Amino acid sequence: MTKRKVCVVVTARASYSRIKSVLCAIQQHKALELQLVVGASAVLDRYGNVISCMERDGFHIVAKVYMVLEGENLTTMAKTTGIGVLELATVFDNIKPDVVITVADRYETIATAIAASFMNIPVAHVQGGEVTGSIDEKVRHAVTKLSDIHFVATQKAADRVKLMGEEPSRVFVTGCPSIDLAAEVAKQAMLNFDPFEKYGGVGETMDISGGYVVVMQHPVTTEYEQAFTQVAEVLKAVVALDLPALWFWPNVDAGSDGVSKCIRIFREQNSSCKIHFFRHMMSEDFLRLLCNCRCLIGNSSVGIRETSFLGVPVVNVGNRQSGRERGQNVIDVGYNRSEIVDAVRKQLGHGPWPCNPLYGDGNAGTRIASLLSDVTLTIEKKFVN
Amino acid sequence: MTKRKVCVVVTARASYSRIKSVLCAIQQHKALELQLVVGASAVLDRYGNVISCMERDGFHIVAKVYMVLEGENLTTMAKTTGIGVLELATVFDNIKPDVVITVADRYETIATAIAASFMNIPVAHVQGGEVTGSIDEKVRHAVTKLSDIHFVATQKAADRVKLMGEEPSRVFVTGCPSIDLAAEVAKQAMLNFDPFEKYGGVGETMDISGGYVVVMQHPVTTEYEQAFTQVAEVLKAVVALDLPALWFWPNVDAGSDGVSKCIRIFREQNSSCKIHFFRHMMSEDFLRLLCNCRCLIGNSSVGIRETSFLGVPVVNVGNRQSGRERGQNVIDVGYNRSEIVDAVRKQLGHGPWPCNPLYGDGNAGTRIASLLSDVTLTIEKKFVN
Amino acid sequence: MTKRKVCVVVTARASYSRIKSVLCAIQQHKALELQLVVGASAVLDRYGNVISCMERDGFHIVAKVYMVLEGENLTTMAKTTGIGVLELATVFDNIKPDVVITVADRYETIATAIAASFMNIPVAHVQGGEVTGSIDEKVRHAVTKLSDIHFVATQKAADRVKLMGEEPSRVFVTGCPSIDLAAEVAKQAMLNFDPFEKYGGVGETMDISGGYVVVMQHPVTTEYEQAFTQVAEVLKAVVALDLPALWFWPNVDAGSDGVSKCIRIFREQNSSCKIHFFRHMMSEDFLRLLCNCRCLIGNSSVGIRETSFLGVPVVNVGNRQSGRERGQNVIDVGYNRSEIVDAVRKQLGHGPWPCNPLYGDGNAGTRIASLLSDVTLTIEKKFVN
Amino acid sequence: MTKRKVCVVVTARASYSRIKSVLCAIQQHKALELQLVVGASAVLDRYGNVISCMERDGFHIVAKVYMVLEGENLTTMAKTTGIGVLELATVFDNIKPDVVITVADRYETIATAIAASFMNIPVAHVQGGEVTGSIDEKVRHAVTKLSDIHFVATQKAADRVKLMGEEPSRVFVTGCPSIDLAAEVAKQAMLNFDPFEKYGGVGETMDISGGYVVVMQHPVTTEYEQAFTQVAEVLKAVVALDLPALWFWPNVDAGSDGVSKCIRIFREQNSSCKIHFFRHMMSEDFLRLLCNCRCLIGNSSVGIRETSFLGVPVVNVGNRQSGRERGQNVIDVGYNRSEIVDAVRKQLGHGPWPCNPLYGDGNAGTRIASLLSDVTLTIEKKFVN
């Protein structure tokens, strides 16, 4: 029996954690062959060496795709996607996959969906049907309409995908694979490493044994110009809290320059505050840090998704995640430092929330691999209504 | 008052006819400034010099975009689209439109939608919400999800666009602008030129005063390999009919090579049959030819759309238009020569059908221009359900 | 012993004939492994299916590179080269050659030299040091300066390469491999096929047993605008000669559109003249046609190079080959029909010329393969003077 | 009288200083119109905001070209150049220059030469004919062979350009425009700013009134793998010297990642050494720092070129500048810390050298502008020997 060749394209550090359990399950499935393609910021040292993580985790990479055009503005974001289509078409032509998996909704993931669908290769989309703000909202649903198979996280997401005219029998509620990793980590959640020692970063080394918060603040591409002032507001809130804060550097979207600049200026002016900046961590370590933090602040999807399962208190800032289903563990606020501070204090008072399997029960990976092994692969689609 | 800059991107000869009345209406509207960008096959002599048509029609072209990568296969189709995104991003960066219009569903039109939406420019889509087969089906709906404003042809199309989560107040049933041109021509439908004399083409010059059929057969990108055999079946049917046939060369999709090759071989083997091949015509002339033909055979969207208004009898072959709303003037058949012949004979027996305003009443252009002048332009979208 | 991986990049039908004996010799050499990459017009059906020739000849193709951006103007010529660099870099990254061979001086060959040299792969250049007109002149010498090893055709070419500062010990007079094929064909030169039957083409089938001329007229990229009028002059001269003429379609440079258009118009106006147009032929057949023709007319390098060995009378038109060393068999004329006619008549009167080994003795292929197997491969260069 | 449109393409911060006096002279010349195009690292904030410098200096930028593909390896270097050709072709097509100036020999400058020459636009090259190591050596001479006019710095450079077959009447010894700026600064050389205050940077603020050294160490692309160890050796030498050192961050070539990484690791391990790292400075400030330093260490061309005029003692490390003409002010050493230390000590003992006009007398800019206004512009070239 020839194995089905399943090509997974990973274009960002965060996407790797999100899809890792699927990669494992594909690799272990005897009817599937994994073709792992890594591209965009995931091949760049600047954004953390994901490649070496993958190799350490036992994955073989069949192609590296350099596609990020420097500039970090909206024009280069578009051009990066164009280069992605050019390059991924070559990759698919070389490795001839039976099905291509594209993950979530980062802007450059539409390059994967275009290259594959235009080349008559069935496309499977993970994490469609959700609702957020930003360009991600447009990209996610456009990728749904270019895709042939849908592995969604929640029933509501499934409903939306079907509303959009997708054939119901091709939409599968598998849970989100990012929860698989969180579930794994949650089994042994104790903080078993020193983040300062293991990951360096910049800023003072602090005693975090008395509790700490975690911050992840990404630029919002449709609010490009505001990136600088938005992060400034979050910074001021965190300083006002006066708790040790572990801050994670933003991803490579348009506006990340504004965020970086703001952080750089802040650091020069506030050399001895209680914030330590990290570039990136192994996902397991990051999740363990989350499990043990008193509150997550920012606008990352982690604050909606993994934290619901882990019961971590979250203060979600701004519109980036607006519309996404969320658990009771999340308080939403605007870009306003006192609002942020008040909400965090409320969360500190409450403490951990119970586990909520809203986004999955921890078995998405094996479910997806199993479906990939026996679903009919076709590129013919018709709007169902 | 500064005028709104409306950029329209035209990427194929057929799209020009389809959008021409909108271009006119924008140009004449005192609150709008037209920025006409021409790209893909529309700038290539091989596919008919659309540029000179446009200039003759009084339009100024602000940018020409060379983006077609030669090869005419699925890989180059994807790469062409990637190059399109790269190039259009530069164009938009230079001309800074307030809104970008993308037309219909040809594969490369997604490049327009991506470049504009990624650059935070509102996108207006003409002819969304329809249902067909082929890669067009995926592209059309993906473009809908990347777009902010929708000018659709029919109420059913509007319903589908809304089902897909688009904000109802942003969906406008304007009718299809291609009908505007058809309506114009229908006012004086008499054949007032000699197609052989005016357009050359290859094959014998025939007496068409006793009636003729028109054939337009495009390759179907998702049935790439079958292009050759499909066109062969149509050719044999047309020969069997033994009526003068005016055959139009296919567009530049993957598979067009197969179609061309089949036609070339056929011509070498059948030097004296009653088929004359044309590359392209001015739209008005083409529509006038249609008005006067006894039957249109093939799989072009013209056979569904303009013909419903004009009442031309149509035999629609294969799946390319499957799912599209159609009038009584259309008989659907498979790629089978005797099925085709029988259906054509039936249509010849019936003769012209009454005008059916299914796809528009002839005023789409002015309606769209008027809406463009006062609709709120925004890039923020949220799935509505 | 690991074999040296020799990557040869072929980007045009003509380049294949030119390098074929080298490909054979590399394939047969026990210390070398051939990596054949085919790109640009050589992968396009429109320019003759070189791929299937290569496969029939027993070569395995490791990568096909689609890089021709349609438009056939100077801007797309530049962009084609840019795409070539993008694509070839991926290819070289995948196949990791020990040395890359680039052939002659077509504009897109500089893409090969740039991709390889920038990636620290030694570059060997075949046919450097010659002098002509057109953009080829700039490209050829620029490629020399990007290359590390030089296999040149003549002693004068070697002298020029050294003058340009190349290390003398890296410059080898091997003869031109295109002569190898000519020498092979010359051993059995009798016309053993019917060109009309075997290759079709357009125009009347003629009796060529009483003698015929061959025409090859390429557009000159630096005289882009004149392409149309230049070919018109040659056409009129050929008509005036009133001899059966076998005319070969031009290659895909800027201006080829002008040439094609001129020929098309001519054909429509002169349906029954003694010219038959061919798209392309297998090299051996083409050379055999040449051996037996009474005169070659045009501006192809074949008229300078292979004909000197074969002793074919040549009338070379215009500047395209100006500066190139030539044998006594060539008469140079301008784009003037009466000049052309007079010169051809003079050649017809003279008849065949003796063999002149100016461009090689027929053993270039084995010489080059042998050198490739033991030359030191290095990327360090310094101007020698 | 219509002005000649002179397009200058600047692709790096260093190139701007190098060409600035030419830009001024063109702008002031009444027969010339300046079209300033900025691309590659010169549009990236990461490498210092050259754009704002240019605007402050009164130059209008007609186009910004994003072309740097992230990755900082040899493959992305090649691809960056490919993208450069694609993008610059569009720019030239839009602005239609009469002549394009390309500066010096950075790898991506060949994109300018290719796009312009392929589009039949005359190319003028500044700083051809010099000899160095690295990929620059290949690029520089290849650009010479693609260019039509040559403005060289020295007589020896002119001789080499002519040896390469360039028409002698098209080769002009103008001196290097980078010396113009140095000459200007030398008139008032006193250090009139505090570098730490004005430019920030990282590392300790030091008292430099007792003397300091300047370090500029670029990666060598043909010694890609060694970048890390090479810079390590220089770092250790500088530490051993125990003098305040102002270190400038490397440019964006392949290997710059290795250099950056080495510096980063060093900084983490040596938090209190006497090295301060700067990203970039305004050229005048940088030159003023140079004028007042006790020794320049590294492998920048500044250490050969501007310093000869300024009389700054230089220790030039490694092969990057090998072959370039130099004054007595330069001591060459290998990548060996004790060699470096010894040579610097020797220079400290010697002190400033006399001014040597080897690379120019300070009037190159006006000379070049004047020549541009009356030289015949042609694209026809022929090897002269």
Q: Is the pLDDT reported for residue A12 higher than 70?
A: yes
For the segment C279-291, the average pLDDT, to the nearest whole number, is: 90
Whole-angstrom distance, CA of residue D352 vs CA of residue D308: 10
The chains in contact with chain D, meaning 3 or more Cβ pairs closer than 8 Å, are A, B, C
Report the percent of chain B where pLDDT is more than 90. 77
pLDDT digits (tens, 9 = 90+) for C130-176: 998 779 999 999 999 999 999 999 999 999 999 999 999 999 999 99
Please tell me if residue C87 touches chain A, with a CB cutoff of 8 Å.
yes
Q: Yes or no: say if C83 and D81 are a contact pair by the CB < 8 Å rule.
A: no
| End-to-end Cα distance, chain C | 37
Determine which helix (DSSP H) or strand (DSSP E) holds D18, and give its type and residue range.
helix D13-28
Whole-angstrom distance, CA of residue B33 vs CA of residue B340: 47
Region D188-358: CATH code = 3.40.50.2000
Whole-angstrom distance, CA of residue B6 vs CA of residue B4: 6
Of C43, C71, C261, Cβ closest to residue B43: C71
Q: Is the pLDDT reported for residue C104 higher than 80?
A: yes
- What residue type is B24 in one-letter code? C
pLDDT for C279: 82
Phi, psi for residue C277 in degrees, rounded to 5: -105, 130
Q: Yes or no: say if A274 and A244 are a contact pair by the CB < 8 Å rule.
A: yes
Q: Yes or no: say if C328 and C140 are a contact pair by the CB < 8 Å rule.
A: no
Whole-angstrom distance, CA of residue B370 vs CA of residue D286: 58
Query: Given the structure tokens 């096959």, which residue do they identify?
Result: B41
Q: Which CATH number fits domain A185-358: 3.30.470.10, 3.40.190.10, 3.40.50.2000, 3.40.250.10?
A: 3.40.50.2000
- B90 contacts on D by Cβ (under 8 Å): 87, 90
pLDDT for B299: 93
Q: Yes or no: say if A251 and A41 are a contact pair by the CB < 8 Å rule.
A: yes
* DSSP label at residue A358: G
CB contact under 8 A, D79 and C85: yes
Window 243-302 of B: residues touching C by CB (8 A cutoff) are 257, 268
Q: Is the pLDDT reported for residue C253 higher than 70?
A: no
For the segment B346-363, the average pLDDT, to the nearest whole number, is: 96
pTM of the complete model: 0.92
What are the structure tokens assigned to C231, written together?
A: 């070919």
pLDDT for C268: 74
Q: Is the pLDDT reported for residue C98 higher than 80?
A: yes
Q: Is the pLDDT reported for residue C259 higher than 80?
A: no
Q: A84-88, B1-5, D271-275, D363-367 — which is least confidently predicted?
A: D271-275
CB contact under 8 A, C78 and D323: no
Coil, strand or helix at D338: helix
- What residue type is C68 in one-letter code? V
Which residues does A17 contact at the CB level (< 8 Å), separation at least 6?
Answer: A178, A181, A283, A286, A287
pLDDT digits (tens, 9 = 90+) for C21-59: 999 999 999 999 999 999 999 999 877 779 999 999 999
Whole-angstrom distance, CA of residue A236 vs CA of residue A225: 19
pLDDT greater at residue A381 or residue A90: A90
Give the pLDDT band of residue C251 (cuts 50, 70, 90): low
Would you list the domain boundaries of chain A? 4-176+360-374, 185-358
Whole-angstrom distance, CA of residue C247 vs CA of residue C224: 21
How near does any CA of chain A get to the CA of D172, in Å?
37
Angle, in degrees to the nearest 10, between helices C109-118 and C134-146: 20
Listed residue (B188, B190, B173) closest to B363, CA to CA = B173
Mean pLDDT over each residue of chain C, to the nearest integer: 93
Q: Is the pLDDT reported for residue A301 higher than 70?
A: yes
Chain A contact probe: residue of B72, B118, B224 with most A CBs at under 10 A: B118
pLDDT for B16: 93
pLDDT digits (tens, 9 = 90+) for B270-289: 767 889 989 888 889 999 99
- What residue type is A199 in one-letter code? Y
Side-chain-side CA neighbours of D187 within 13 Å: the count stands at 6
CB contact under 8 A, A82 and B86: yes
Which residues does B23 contact at the CB level (< 8 Å), separation at least 6?
Answer: B8, B34, B36, B59, B365
pLDDT digits (tens, 9 = 90+) for C74-85: 999 999 999 999
Whole-angstrom distance, CA of residue D185 vs CA of residue D286: 10
* DSSP label at residue B372: H
Q: Yes or no: say if B276 and B248 are a contact pair by the CB < 8 Å rule.
A: no
Give the pLDDT band of residue B269 (cuts 50, 70, 90): confident
Please tell me if residue C86 touches chain A, with a CB cutoff of 8 Å.
yes
- C81 contacts on B by Cβ (under 8 Å): none
pLDDT digits (tens, 9 = 90+) for A227-279: 888 888 999 999 999 999 999 987 656 666 777 778 878 877 776 789 998 98
Q: Yes or no: say if B238 and B275 are a contact pair by the CB < 8 Å rule.
A: yes
Q: Yes or no: say if A256 and A80 are a contact pair by the CB < 8 Å rule.
A: no
pLDDT for D13: 86
Count of Cβ atoms closer than 10 Å to residue B255 Cβ: 27
Phi, psi for residue D10 in degrees, rounded to 5: -110, 125
C379 burial (CB, 10 Å; 0-12 / 13-18 / 19+) is: middle
Which residues of chain D, if any, have pLDDT below 50? none
For the segment A102-124, the average pLDDT, to the nearest whole number, is: 97
Whole-angstrom distance, CA of residue D237 vs CA of residue D337: 5
pLDDT for B295: 97
pLDDT digits (tens, 9 = 90+) for A145-194: 999 999 999 999 999 999 999 999 999 999 999 999 999 999 999 999 99
Shortest CA distance from A42: residue in chain D: D71
Q: A115-119, B71-75, C266-270 — which is least confidently predicted?
A: C266-270
pLDDT for A265: 81
The reply to whether B185-359 shares the fold of B4-176+360-374 is yes
Q: Is the pLDDT reported for residue C330 higher than 90?
A: yes
What are the structure tokens assigned to C224, written together?
A: 């882009």
* DSSP label at residue B193: S
Window 150-209 of C: residues touching D by CB (8 A cutoff) are 159-160, 163-165
Region A4-176+360-374: CATH code = 3.40.50.2000
How near does any CA of chain D get to the CA of C253, in Å?
11
Please tell me if residue A306 touches chain C, with a CB cutoff of 8 Å.
no
* DSSP label at residue B123: E
pLDDT for B253: 62
Whole-angstrom CA distances from C358 to C152, C300, C347 are 12, 17, 20
Query: Using alpha carbons only, what angle is made at residue B119 by residues B117 and B124, rounded to the nearest 5 degrees?
Result: 35
Shortest CA distance from D82: residue in chain C: C82
Identify the sign of the CA torsion C12, C18, C24, C29: negative
* DSSP label at residue D252: S
Query: Given the structure tokens 């007109």, which residue do they identify?
Result: C133
How near does any CA of chain A get to the CA of B385, in Å?
8
Listed residue (C212, C221, C224) closest to C248, CA to CA = C212
pLDDT for D252: 59
pLDDT for B281: 86
For the segment A195-224, the average pLDDT, to the nearest whole number, is: 88
Q: Which CATH number fits domain B185-359: 3.40.228.10, 3.40.50.300, 3.40.50.2300, 3.40.50.2000?
A: 3.40.50.2000
Q: How far is CA A218 from the centre of its chain?
A: 11
Side-chain-side CA neighbours of C224 within 13 Å: the count stands at 17
Whole-angstrom distance, CA of residue B340 vs CA of residue B316: 9
Whole-angstrom distance, CA of residue A325 vs CA of residue A303: 11
Q: Is the pLDDT reported for residue B50 higher than 80?
A: yes
What are the structure tokens assigned to C352, written together?
A: 């065949």
Q: Is the pLDDT reported for residue C187 higher than 70?
A: yes
Determine which helix (DSSP H) or strand (DSSP E) holds C85, and give its type and residue range.
helix C74-95
* DSSP label at residue C362: S
What are the structure tokens assigned to A132, written together?
A: 């957020």
Of C74, C118, C137, Cβ closest to residue D118: C74
Residue B233 region, left (φ>0) first, then alpha (ψ -120 to 50), else beta?
A: alpha
